[in-house]
């Protein structure tokens, strides 16, 4: 079962920070998932939301700030005073410090970041250590046109025969449905089409049960220790 830390171990540390990534590794996560956006001066930073308002002491869209401006923001205090002073991480920093230790799953949040993300991956020479995902179909099509050799996955709230066929036809490595849409027959169909099934949206342990019951290959989770806990239970 692929145990992918969603924005790092974001149930235990502020999402998309070094603290969350380090915690994920300590908890035995198989990979680190994060979100990539572009700043006003063309730099790539790790931020889920369109704005910095929820997860920093700043305000406004990420795309309206320079990297230098974002560097001044506190990205930890919103979560806990224990993380006060944690800073926003750049994609270059993530690759340098964490790609040798765990595979990376990079979600493109804004299509404008697509080409820069692919360029950064290629420049770093980590094509075999990274997967690129998005909810934006057009972003993935652009990415595959830029580098068809990378592993891609489509994040989809819908999981049905049509979306499985579309992902397989495009040569994606993964389909990433919401965990609540998983069924055994659909997972089996995706496997038959050559797709890895990695779910998202896990917020409780019953959904971990669903992963195993349907034969899914893994999930992104905010609490990376949940999947090992489930696997280690004597009754399983």
pTM of structure: 0.95
Domain-by-domain residue ranges, the chain? Answer: 2-232
Residue 144 structure tokens: 């595959």
- Name the residues annotated as catalytic: 6, 48
The model's pLDDT over 173-229, given as tens digits with 9 standing for 90+, comes to 999 999 999 999 999 999 999 999 999 999 999 999 999 999 999 999 999 999 876
Task: Provide the pairing of β-strand 218-221 with 196-199.
Answer: parallel
Contacts of 126 (CB under 8 A, 6+ apart): 95, 99, 104
104 forms beta bridges with 32, 130
Considering the chain, what is the average pLDDT of its residues?
Answer: 96
Class of the domain covering 2-232 = alpha beta
In this prediction, residue 235 carries a pLDDT of 39
């Amino acid at each position: 079962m692929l145990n992918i830390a969603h924005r790092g171990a974001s149930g235990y540390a502020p999402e998309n920070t070094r603290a969350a990534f380090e915690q994920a590794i300590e908890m035995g996560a198989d990979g680190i998932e994060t979100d990539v956006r572009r700043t006003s001066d063309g730099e790539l930073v790790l931020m889920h939301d369109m704005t910095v308002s929820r997860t920093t002491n700043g305000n406004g869209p990420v795309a309206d700030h320079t990297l230098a401006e974002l560097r001044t923001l506190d990205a930890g205090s919103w979560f806990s005073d224990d993380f006060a002073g944690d800073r926003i991480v750049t994609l270059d920093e993530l690759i340098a410090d964490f790609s040798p230790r765990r595979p990376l799953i990079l979600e493109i949040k804004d299509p404008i970041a697509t080409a820069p993300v692919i360029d950064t991956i290629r420049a770093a020479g980590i094509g075999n250590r990274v997967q690129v995902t998005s909810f934006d179909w057009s972003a993935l099509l652009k990415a595959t046109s830029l580098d068809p050799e990378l592993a891609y996955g489509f994040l989809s709230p819908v999981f049905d025969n049509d979306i499985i066929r579309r992902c397989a036809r495009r040569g994606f490595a993964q389909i990433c449905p919401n965990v609540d849409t998983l069924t055994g027959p659909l997972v089996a169909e995706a496997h038959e089409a050559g797709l890895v099934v990695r779910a998202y949206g896990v917020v409780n342990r019953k959904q971990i049960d669903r992963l195993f019951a349907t034969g899914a290959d893994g999930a992104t989770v905010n609490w990376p220790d949940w999947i090992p806990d489930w696997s280690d239970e004597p009754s399983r």
